Amino acid sequence: MTLAVSAVKNPVWIVLTLLLALGLGAPAWAQSTPPLVAPLDSAKAAEQQATRSQVLDRDRDSIRRSRATFEQQLVDLPQQLEALRPEQLDETLLEQTRVDVESARLSQDSNSSELANTGRRIDELQKSISDLETREQLLKNPVKGQTDGTADRVAQLQQVSTALMQQRGELALETRHLENLREQAEVVKLRLQVAEQWRQRVEQIFQQRQEQARQSSQSDLVDRLQADLSAQQDRASALRQRLAQPPGDLSLAAWQRMGADLRITEERISLLNLERHLGELGNELARLGDLLQESGVDPDTLHEALKRFDAMREDLQRNAELLQQRSAIYVQQRQVIERREPVAGNDRRQRNDELQQLNQLLDELGQRTGQVQDLQQQVSAIEARLEIYYQERLRQDLLTRKPYPDSVDAWQQLLRGLAIVPQVLLYQIRLSVEAAFKAMLEAPALRWVMLVSLQGALFWLLVLIGRGLRRVLQIQAESRNLADNSFLRQLFIGTLLLARVNLPSAGFAAALLLLLWLVEAPPPGLSILMTLALVWVGIRLPVSLAWLLLAAPRLPAGQQHLPLYRQLRWTLGLGGLLVALVVLAHLSDLPENVVTAFDRVFMLYWFWAFVPGARIRRLVVERIGAVYSDRFWFVLLRFGSLLLPLSLLGAAVLGLLGYLRLAWLVAGNLLIFLAVLVSWLLARSLLNDLVVALKNYAVTHSGYGLLWTQDIIAPLHRILNLLLYGGAWVVLFRAYGWTSQSAVIASVWGFLERPLFEVGNAGISPWRIALTVTVLVLVIWLGQWSRAITYRWILSRISDLGVRHSLSMFTQYAVVLIGLLTILRIIGIDLTTLAVFAGAVGVGIGLGMQSLANNFISGLFLLIERPLRSGDIVKIGPHEGEVASIGMRSLTVKTFDNQTVIIPNAAVISDAFTNWTHEDRVLRTVLIIGASYESNPHQVQKLLAEVLEAHPAILPKPEPLVLLWEFADSAVNFRLQYFVDMSRDSLFKTRAEVLMAIWDCFKAAGISIPYPQRDLYVRSWPGAVSDAPPTAPIAALAAAPAGRP
């Protein structure tokens, strides 16, 4: 028990136990082998293998003879191709050559499939032999005889040995068969090469024959048309000469007939010219259609053909419209002639002749219209097929891999081609110079005069530019401390410095290009010399720009990056030289493998350029982030710019893998994107500087500077930024060739136009959804902007802020309503179908929404009639206070108890209300002041007048009044009335101050304000004698509040 516990606690015992269990069970699986399949009879198997060996020998001999035959055919093929004549060809032979090529390709595919099957068969045989060798080794163990029996072991060992021998024989035969198949693959490759070269030559000669036939047919057509055209021109000339003379004895009708004949003759001349033009278009259409029959057409050729189809379509559409217009005019003329009543027999004959000529002319116009329509249909059909073929060829060309040399001979051929590259390039440059010099010597005297004049003008212009640059840079250096540090100024100074540094090299290149253009140097020498002329400028200019941005002494110490500049200088220099070599290699018609080698070397250069490119990208992002780090587009630019160096690296990898066309496409699109991106950033920075300058000018030169900056310049800046952003994408798409006719845009447009669901009869697509959202955002923004413009500018003279606010809101509602109707039209909903909905809305208004509509319309009347304004003191029903705001549905009154009361507009319109400040803010206050009967009323009136005159809040006009109003029961009452301007002083505070001043004045003068009193006369006391004298009056105080002296 103790041992067991210790074993459990000790992991070593567990591991040893597991190893022991695996060791004991190892023979069970290590010696388990698949059951043995009984081998064939040895004699029969030997006979079969011998027979197959003979067959393989015959196949090998046949393959070698075929190879020798095709190699000889390949050697003799150039002579046979040269001996081939157009008259020997027909469409049957052409079709046969295409069938031969397809047959060779099928044989190549079949051979590839058989090679794969044979390889799998050899792998299976090798595995089977390995298993049999393992079984044989196990059966040779003597221990097996003790367990299974010696006889059984010997029998199995014999079977295994026999099977192993047969399998090895099969493996040897399959290996020989594989070698035969490989040789057969070479033979099939030779056969395909011979067939393709033969087919290409046959197609070329057949196309030449067709072109000759078309040219012959076109020549016959031109001759026939020229003869007809000459006859018609002679007739027209004779008619013009006769019409230029006086009528003489000719009647007016005959004279008009001659004019009509002239017009018809000129129209026939125009139709003959049109027929010749249509014939030329037909021949060109046939030549373009022949591209569909060719294989391996360059995609650039197909792209140019598609561009030509666009021009042909526009030409035919223009001619069709002109023919229709002419036909309509002559139909009207025929109707006029038909309505004309003949007077005599001659008039009738003349009328019939005119109608006959017009009918013939209309028939000819109809024939030309039919020809144009037929050509339009042919153009559409061939263009559609050619577009599909172009996409297929483009895809094949992009995905076609150019392999590396796969043999020693191929590498030697490449090395020999590279060895003669300097000699070929130098010779080609020498030929280009000689051709240009020859063209210059053969130029006429006038061209020499132009050359000398333009070269002199160019030299004089360069001198003036140099002096101007030095002067401007000197002025800028003197005013450096006074000038601003805007982007526009930095760009201007940088451009001046670049122009000054690169002026000599740019001037030399311009002079050389001008020379080549004027002498009309022949190609390809023109392109070669232009490359040599621009190579130094192409290196010098970016190096100067890098020095200006990274290493110029005028830069602050924190912005100088000397190591990056040095790396970039070497990178740009080497890149310029490589670009020149690659261009010259393509222009000098070097062997394809040599040109491919130059392309691959240039792809290796991209790996080197990746490192400085990534560093430049980081530096640019840091500098832009210092200004625009909080912008959303900067976040996109920061992460999206990572794709630029990665795309360059990916293009280099594709090129080295052999996909050169795809690599060049990626690199070209990358350069285009960089150019558009840099142009957009420059334009955006210039726009920002311009906006800042406009804002500063508006603030300093206008009394409404803040309004200009917020309501005009800022929205205009936002609109221009959006237009600039959209314009950058348009330019990028145009540069990529993504027009409405391209496959990329067509596929994307097809996806966007695909309906997702339907609303009524209108299909809702992603494009309509995106457009609706865009228009909705634009409408909301326009509504807000129109409200601000209306409130601050258009309605600025309205002092009532509430009315201004309401009218500006009404403007915003109108803009939004128009925008919503526009959105409905964009979606595709017919507004006439909304009549039922409008009727339902009207019924709803009449029933459930009557109060809301009443208040809304009342609000409109309040805005139009303006019976009250914001800030007016009003009394509407039981509510009295100041109008706080006027809305479209209700108005808000703030009472003197600081309570906010919402009153519907309908209540204001339908009921009477009091507006104390409708016309002005001057209000009258009336006070009743009582004095005792013992006081002098004249003194009281004077004192009260002095109090009113002394208070500063009481207006002198209208004049305050103090009137003896009445003799009341207890006092003599005086009526005081005065006016207070509510815009300056408080009405209630002024009232309180006036009452306090009256109190002080009365107290100082000894005038009392009596209590209300009554005299009571008691006629008789209860129980008293009736003739008793009446008692004296008893003064009794009323229950009124006590008065003050």
pTM for the model: 0.60
Pick the closest to residue 778 from 737, 834, 722 (CA basis): 722
Average pLDDT over residues 742-762: 69
Query: Read out DSSP for 557-621?
Result: GGG--HHHHHHHHHHHHHHHHHHHHHHHHHHTT--HHHHHHHHHHHHHHHHHHHHHHHHHHHHHH
Highest mean pLDDT among 98-112, 145-159, 483-497, 1007-1021: 98-112
Residue 17 pLDDT more than 60?
A: no
The DSSP 8-state label assigned to residue 88 in this structure reads G
Confidence of residue 712 (pLDDT cuts 50, 70, 90): confident
Average pLDDT over residues 301-316: 85
- Is the Cβ–Cβ distance between 862 and 868 less than 8 Å? yes
Q: Give per-residue pLDDT as tens, 186-206.
A: 888 877 877 877 777 777 777
Confidence of residue 151 (pLDDT cuts 50, 70, 90): low
Stronger pLDDT, 512 or 757, i.e. the higher one: 512
Average pLDDT over residues 662-685: 86
User: In DSSP terms, which residues pair with 883 in a beta bridge?
Assistant: 893
Average pLDDT over residues 573-602: 87
Residue 743 pLDDT more than 70?
A: no
pLDDT of 897 reads 80
The DSSP 8-state label assigned to residue 1019 in this structure reads -
pLDDT of 864 reads 66
pLDDT of 8 reads 36
pLDDT of 846 reads 61
**Domains of the chain listed by start with CATH number:** 1-32 (no CATH), 42-214 (1.10.287), 246-399 (no CATH), 922-1011 (3.30.70.100)
pLDDT of 69 reads 80
What are the DSSP E strand ranges found in 681-834? Answer: 757-759, 762-764
Q: What percent of the chain stands above pLDDT 90?
A: 2
Stronger pLDDT, 791 or 547, i.e. the higher one: 547
Q: Give per-residue pLDDT as tens, 785-822.
A: 888 877 777 776 766 666 666 677 778 778 888 887 77
pLDDT of 14 reads 35
Tokens of 745: 């845009």
Centre a 10 Å sphere on the Cβ of residue 73 and count the other Cβ atoms it contains.
17
With left for phi above 0 and alpha for psi between -120 and 50, is residue 250 left, alpha or beta?
A: beta
Stronger pLDDT, 255 or 58, i.e. the higher one: 58
Residue 484 pLDDT more than 60?
A: no
Tokens of 164: 């192993």
Stronger pLDDT, 834 or 224, i.e. the higher one: 224
The Cα–Cα gap between 884 and 956 comes to 30
Stronger pLDDT, 980 or 66, i.e. the higher one: 980
Residue 650 pLDDT more than 60?
A: yes
Place of tokens 């006439």: 832
**SS3 label, residue 874:** strand
Pick the closest to residue 943 from 1008, 1002, 1009 (CA basis): 1002
Residue 1036 pLDDT more than 50?
A: no
Confidence of residue 33 (pLDDT cuts 50, 70, 90): very low
Q: Minimum mean pLDDT among 74-78, 333-337, 554-558, 910-914: which range?
A: 74-78
pLDDT of 251 reads 63
The Cα–Cα gap between 183 and 177 comes to 10
- Is the Cβ–Cβ distance between 915 and 867 less than 8 Å? yes
The Cα–Cα gap between 233 and 227 comes to 10
Residue 684 pLDDT more than 50?
A: yes
Residues whose CB is less than 8 angstroms from the CB of residue 273 and which lie 6 or more positions away in sequence, other chains included: 229
pLDDT of 1021 reads 62
Q: Give per-residue pLDDT as tens, 918-971.
A: 777 788 889 999 888 888 889 888 888 988 888 888 888 888 999 988 988 888
User: In DSSP terms, which residues pair with 1016 in a beta bridge?
Assistant: 1034
What is the CB-side half-sphere exposure of residue 896 using CA atoms within 13 A? 12
Confidence of residue 141 (pLDDT cuts 50, 70, 90): low
**SS3 label, residue 1014:** strand
- Is the Cβ–Cβ distance between 752 and 765 less than 8 Å? yes
The DSSP 8-state label assigned to residue 793 in this structure reads I
Average pLDDT over residues 587-608: 87
Average pLDDT over residues 996-1019: 81
Q: Which amino acid is at 353?
A: D
Average pLDDT over residues 692-716: 81
Residue 30 pLDDT more than 60?
A: no
Q: Give per-residue pLDDT as tens, 871-923.
A: 778 888 888 888 887 776 788 888 878 888 888 888 888 888 888 777 777 88
Confidence of residue 28 (pLDDT cuts 50, 70, 90): very low
Cα dihedral 723, 726, 729, 731 sign = negative
